[in-house]
Amino acid sequence: MAGKKLTCLKCAQLNRVPFDKLTDNPKCGSCGAALMPSKAVEITPAVFAKASASDDVPLVVDFWAPWCGPCKMMGPEFEKAAGKLSGQARLVKLNTQTHQSVSGKMRIKGIPTMIAFQNGREVKRQAGAMKVGQIVGWVPSN
């Protein structure tokens, strides 16, 4: 059975996980980090570049900044959504203040902005804060 490609959110190593094991808390073969975490993970531009280009499972990126009021309001909702979507999608955060080049490259015009990637391409984009139910309903299914 062919596996789903997942980039480790910690070390950026590409892993293959059988589809039926995505909900079994798979670990990275290199560093042992959880590949399908139940919490939102802060990632680096390098991990973002590799995961958004390679992963078969939906990768939902919250582009945010610590000074942004709506981002602060959405943070806990995004975290809850990560738990509800564990095994189906990976929710990650990228700080646009720290990594301004990525937000420019991705044409982020306002924050928070969520972008979903799957199979190497952007599949959805949404600007503005959302509640947990809206986030869960917005995320593409695997």
Query: Known catalytic residue: 11?
Result: no
Question: Pick the catalytic residue: 8, 28, 31, 68?
Answer: 68
Query: Known catalytic residue: 68?
Result: yes
63-107: per-residue pLDDT in tens?
999 999 999 999 999 999 999 998 899 999 999 999 999 989 999
Block residue for tokens 């869960």: 136
Residues 95, 100: Cα–Cα separation, whole Å: 8
Residue 88's SS3 state is coil
CA–CA distances in Å: residue 23 to residues 35, 48, 131: 10, 22, 24
Report the 10 Å Cβ neighbour count for 36: 22
Question: Pick the catalytic residue: 11, 28, 31, 71?
Answer: 71
Residues 2, 56: Cα–Cα separation, whole Å: 11
11-60: per-residue pLDDT in tens?
999 999 998 898 899 999 999 999 999 999 999 999 999 999 999 999 99
* Per-domain residue ranges of the chain: 38-138
CATH code linked to domain 38-138: 3.40.30.10
Report the 10 Å Cβ neighbour count for 131: 14
* pTM of the entire predicted model: 0.94
